[in-house]
Amino acid sequence: MTAVAAFSFDKLVILGVGLIGGSLARALRERGDVAGARTVIGVGRSAASMARALELGVVDGTALLADDAALRAALAGADFVLLAAPVAQTQPLLERIAPFLDDTTIVTDAGSTKSDVVAAARAALGARIGQFVPGHPIAGRESSGVDAALPELYAGRNVVLCPLPENGQQAVERVTAMWRATGASVSSMSPEQHDRVLASVSHLPHVLSYALVEQILNSPDAALKFSFAAGGFRDFTRIAASSPEMWRDICVANRAALLDELDDYMAVLTRLRAAIDAADGAALEAVFARSRVARTEWQERGGTKVSVGDASK
Amino acid sequence: MTAVAAFSFDKLVILGVGLIGGSLARALRERGDVAGARTVIGVGRSAASMARALELGVVDGTALLADDAALRAALAGADFVLLAAPVAQTQPLLERIAPFLDDTTIVTDAGSTKSDVVAAARAALGARIGQFVPGHPIAGRESSGVDAALPELYAGRNVVLCPLPENGQQAVERVTAMWRATGASVSSMSPEQHDRVLASVSHLPHVLSYALVEQILNSPDAALKFSFAAGGFRDFTRIAASSPEMWRDICVANRAALLDELDDYMAVLTRLRAAIDAADGAALEAVFARSRVARTEWQERGGTKVSVGDASK
C-alpha cells in the first residue's frame, strides 16, 4: 500500500538562501513525504553565498539576481518562488522577477511583517498579485546564513498565511501544503491582524529588551550594574543580541501596530508605577499573580495556548 | 602538610530554612574546606517545615520561633545567625531574637533589598546594630523551599555585603569568609548603591516582564496573541513566572530606587518611540547595535563583566 504524498513539487526557486530559505529547501528535500522532481534553485546577489549553498547540497542549482538569462532560466517552469530576504527588499526583488514569472508560478514570502509586504507586492506585481500568497514562518535561530539551515527548523512551529482576495483557493492550499510538509502548523489571518499579534508578542519585547541594555549603558554606573546582573537579566535581554538591521527594518515596516502596542505597554507601566509609588502591595501582587498564572499556563501548554478567562476583559 | 581551613564555625542559626537558608547550610556542611563543630540549627514558624529540614539532614536541630525556651537555647553560643526570610519580616524577626542574642554572635541576612533592611535592623537591634552585617547572595532557582536547597547554589555567584559604620572589621571579615566558603565571590557596596544596581538589573526587568503579560491579558485578542508567541516572548517573560508575593515585597521595599530606574527606562522608551514614529531607521539601528555589542560582551565574559567604553557617558 502506497500513500499518496501530501505535497509534491518539481521546481522551487528560493530568493535568499540563508537560514530561512535554506531550511525550507532542506526540509522539502530531506523530510519524508514529499513527491515530485524536487529541484531547488537558489537565487541571490552574491556568487560566494550561492556557491556555499550548492556546496552544502541545499540547492541543486543557482542563479545570480543580476544575470537576466540565468534568472529567466531559474524561474522558467517553477511551481513556487519563496522570497526569503529582509522585508525592505520585497518590492525591488518582486519587480526584478516579475518579467520572468510564469502564469502558474505561486510566489510566497517569509517576511516578519505583512501589511508592508502586501503593499510592496501590489506595487511590484500589479495584475499578477493573485500569484502572491503572503506568509510568515514563525521560526528562527540565533545563528544566520545557509550554514545554519536545518531541515527541522519548522517542525512544530507556526506558519501564518495572509491570503489576499485575489489569491485563488488552490494557490493558498498549495502554499499551506508546502509548509505542512516541513512539519509546521499553518493558520491564516489578515495582514493587519498578523502585524498586531506579532507587534505584541515579538516586536515589542525586542524593543523593550534593547531598551533595557541601552538604559544601563547610559547610566553612570553601567559597569557595576552589568557586573551584578544575573539570571533575570540574562533571560530578559537574550533577544537584545538579535540582528540590529533586521529589527530596525521590522520596527519601521510595522511601526503603526508597534506604536499601538508600545503605547498600551507604557500605559500598563504607568499604572504599575503608580502602585509602586503608593506602596500598593495588593495591586502589584494582583497583577504579578495574574501574569504568573498566564505565563505558567502558556508554558505548560507547550507555549502555544493559554486560558485567558475573564482576564481578557 | 595540612592547610588551615579558611572558614570555621561551631554554631550557625538559620531563620527561615528554605532555598536560600538551606543552601547555605548544605554548602557549609557538605563542601570541603570548612572547620569547626559545624552545628546548624534551623528556626522557623512551622513545625512541618522544621521537621522536613531535619529529615533532609540540612540542619542538626530546630526550634520554633514562638517557643521562648527553644529559641534561647538555639541562639546560645551561636557564631552566626542568617536571616533568610522575606525582607518585610526583617524587623519583627530581629525584634524576636534580639533578647536572646549573645554579644559575640554575628547576624547577617540574605534579603534582596538593603536600605529597608538596614532601617529595620536599626529599629529592631538598637545598640546591637554593630552585630548586624547586611548581605545579599545574588542566587536563586525557580523552585523554592528546603527541598530545593543545593550545596552548590552559591558557587561562582556574587554576594554583596553592605557593611555599616558600626560593624567591626572582624565581623565583616567573618561574614565574607562564610560566603567565600560556599564558592561565592564577595564584594561590598553601600545599601543605596546595592539597591540602585539591583533595581536596574533585577527588579526593573521583573516589573517589565510582568507588565508585558499583563498587557496581553488586557487586550481583546489575548488568546490569539498567546497562540503565536514564540521564543522571544518565552525568554522575555520567563521571570514573569516568579513569586508574586516576593516581587510585591521587593517593589515596595525598594520603591525609591525602582521608580528612578523605571522613569529612566520610560524615557528611553519614549526616545525609541519617537524614532519608530519618525521611521528613523538609523537611530534605531544605532541603539540596537550598541545594545547587542554590550549584551554579547556581557555573555561572553561569563555574564559578569562588560566593557562600556564611552557608551557610559
Q: Do B160 and A228 touch (CB under 8 A)?
A: yes
Q: Of the candidates B216, B219, B308, which has its C-beta nearest A222's C-beta? A: B308
Where does the pLDDT of residue B313 fall: very low under 50, low under 70, confident under 90, or very high at 90 and above? very low
Å from A91 to nearest chain B CA?
Answer: 18
The reported pLDDT for the residue numbered B33 is: 85
Say which range, A89-98, A190-199, B63-72, B296-305, has the weakest mean pLDDT.
Answer: B296-305
Residue B308 has pLDDT above 50, yes or no: no
Q: Do A236 and B232 touch (CB under 8 A)?
A: no
Q: Do A158 and B235 touch (CB under 8 A)?
A: no
Express each pLDDT in A166-224 by its tens digit.
Answer: 999 999 999 999 999 999 999 999 999 999 999 999 999 999 999 999 999 999 999 99
Q: Which has the closest alpha carbon to A133: A98, A104, A109?
A: A109
Express each pLDDT in B174-202 by its tens digit.
Answer: 999 999 999 999 999 999 999 999 999 99
The reported pLDDT for the residue numbered B305 is: 42
From residue A54, alpha-carbon distances to A26, A60, A256 in Å are: 12, 6, 40
Residue type, A252: V
**CB atoms < 10 A from the CB of A46, how many?**
11
Q: Do B308 and A223 touch (CB under 8 A)?
A: yes
Å from B252 to nearest chain A CA?
Answer: 5
Q: Do A204 and B210 touch (CB under 8 A)?
A: no
Burial degree of B66 (CB within 10 A; 0-12, 13-18, 19+)? exposed
Express each pLDDT in A123-179 by its tens digit.
Answer: 999 999 999 999 999 998 767 899 999 999 999 999 999 999 999 999 999 999 999
Judging contacts by C-beta atoms under 8 Å, the chain B residues touching residue A242 are: 288, 292
Q: How far is A232 from B141, CA to CA, in rounded Å?
A: 11
Q: Do B228 and A158 touch (CB under 8 A)?
A: yes
The reported pLDDT for the residue numbered B144 is: 82
Q: How far is A59 from A53, CA to CA, in rounded Å?
A: 6
Q: Of the candidates A243, A262, A295, which has its C-beta nearest B237's C-beta? A: A295
Å from A103 to nearest chain B CA?
Answer: 33
Q: Of the candidates A215, A276, A281, which has its C-beta nearest B265's C-beta? A: A215
**CB atoms < 10 A from the CB of A96, how many?**
17
In the block, cell 565574559 appears at B301
Å from B43 to nearest chain A CA?
Answer: 27
**CB atoms < 10 A from the CB of B154, how many?**
24
Residue A282 has pLDDT above 90, yes or no: yes
Q: What is the DSSP letter of A201?
A: I
**CB atoms < 10 A from the CB of B70, how many?**
16
Å from B31 to nearest chain A CA?
Answer: 23
Q: Of the candidates B221, B240, B281, which has its C-beta nearest A295's C-beta? A: B240
Residue type, A50: M
The count of residues in chain B is 313
The reported pLDDT for the residue numbered A144 is: 82
Express each pLDDT in A76-123 by its tens digit.
Answer: 999 999 999 989 999 999 999 999 999 999 999 999 999 999 999 999
- CATH 1.10.3660.10 range(s) for chain A read 196-312
The reported pLDDT for the residue numbered A304 is: 53
State the CATH class of domain B194-305: mainly alpha
Cell numbers for A67, please give them. Answer: 544575470
3-state secondary structure of A290: helix
Q: Which residues contact B28 (CB under 8 A, 6 or more apart)?
A: B7, B9, B12, B34, B38, B40, B178, B181, B182
Q: What is the DSSP letter of A254?
A: T
Q: Do A294 and B236 touch (CB under 8 A)?
A: no
The reported pLDDT for the residue numbered B301 is: 85
Where does the pLDDT of residue A3 fall: very low under 50, low under 70, confident under 90, or very high at 90 and above? low
Q: Of the candidates B139, B219, B291, which has its C-beta nearest A214's C-beta? A: B291
- Contact present, B193 and B179 (Cβ < 8 Å): no
Q: H-helix or E-strand containing A106?
A: strand A106-109
Q: Do B208 and A206 touch (CB under 8 A)?
A: no
Inter-axis angle of helices A204-218 and B281-300, nearest 10: 70
Where does the pLDDT of residue B304 fall: very low under 50, low under 70, confident under 90, or very high at 90 and above? low
As a whole-number percent, the residues of chain A with pLDDT over 70 amount to 95
What fold is seen in the domain A7-189? Rossmann fold (3.40.50)
Reported ipTM: 0.87
Q: Name which residue leads in pLDDT, B141 or A69.
A: A69
- CATH 1.10.3660.10 range(s) for chain B read 194-305
Å from A87 to nearest chain B CA?
Answer: 14
Q: Do B226 and A304 touch (CB under 8 A)?
A: yes
Q: Do A213 and B294 touch (CB under 8 A)?
A: yes
Tell whether the torsion through CA atoms of B271, B276, B278 and B282 is positive or negative: positive
Q: How far is A64 from B87, CA to CA, in rounded Å?
A: 64
Please calculate the CA angle A124-A127-A131 and round it to the nearest 5 degrees.
80
Where does the pLDDT of residue B65 fall: very low under 50, low under 70, confident under 90, or very high at 90 and above? very high
Residue B306 has pLDDT above 90, yes or no: no
pTM value > 0.95: no
- Contact present, A306 and B226 (Cβ < 8 Å): yes
Residue type, A242: S
Express each pLDDT in A221-280 by its tens digit.
Answer: 999 999 999 888 999 999 999 889 989 999 999 999 999 999 999 999 999 999 999 999
- Mean residue pLDDT of chain A comes to 93
Q: Which has the closest alpha carbon to A246: A85, A120, A91?
A: A85
Q: Do B235 and A231 touch (CB under 8 A)?
A: no
Express each pLDDT in B199-219 by its tens digit.
Answer: 999 999 999 999 999 999 999
Judging contacts by C-beta atoms under 8 Å, the chain B residues touching residue A238 are: 235-236, 295
Residue A310 has pLDDT above 60, yes or no: no
- Contact present, B157 and B303 (Cβ < 8 Å): no
From residue A40, alpha-carbon distances to A60, A109, A133, B254 in Å are: 5, 16, 19, 59
B145: left (phi over 0), alpha (psi -120 to 50) or beta: left
- CATH 3.40.50.720 range(s) for chain B read 7-189
Q: Of the candidates B240, B288, B304, which has its C-beta nearest A292's C-beta? A: B240
HSE toward the beta carbon, residue B47, CA cutoff 13 A:
3
Residue type, A263: D
The reported pLDDT for the residue numbered B231 is: 85
3-state secondary structure of A236: helix
Cell numbers for B236, please give them. Answer: 522575555
Q: How far is A204 from A198, CA to CA, in rounded Å?
A: 8
Express each pLDDT in B271-291 by its tens digit.
Answer: 999 999 999 999 999 999 999
Q: Name which residue leads in pLDDT, B313 or B260.
A: B260
Express each pLDDT in B103-120 by its tens digit.
Answer: 999 999 999 999 999 999
HEC letters along chain B: CCCCCCEECCEEEEECCCHHHHHHHHHHHHCCCEECCCEEEEEECCHHHHHHHHHCCCCCEEEECCCHHHHHHHHCCCCEEEECCCHHHHHHHHHHHHHHCCCCCEEEECCCCCHHHHHHHHHHHHHHHHHEECEEEECCCCCCCHHHCCCCCCCCCEEEECCCCCCCHHHHHHHHHHHHCCCCEEEECCHHHHHHHHHHHHHHHHHHHHHHHHHHHHCCCHHHHHHCCCHHHHHHHHHHHCCHHHHHHHHHHCHHHHHHHHHHHHHHHHHHHHHHHCCCHHHHHHHHHHHHHHHHHHHHCCCCCCCCHHHHC
Q: Which residues contact B239 (CB under 8 A, 6 or more apart)?
A: A232, A235, A236, B205, B206, B209
Residue A313 has pLDDT above 70, yes or no: no
Tell whether the torsion through CA atoms of A34, A38, A42 and A43 is positive or negative: negative
Judging contacts by C-beta atoms under 8 Å, the chain A residues touching residue B296 are: 241
Q: Which residues contact A169 (CB under 8 A, 6 or more apart)?
A: none
Å from A204 to nearest chain B CA?
Answer: 9
3-state secondary structure of A170: helix
Q: Which residues contact A71 (CB under 8 A, 6 or more apart)?
A: A43, A63, A64, A65, A96, A97, A100
The reported pLDDT for the residue numbered A231 is: 85
Q: Which CATH architecture has domain A196-312?
A: Orthogonal Bundle (1.10)
- Mean residue pLDDT of chain B comes to 93
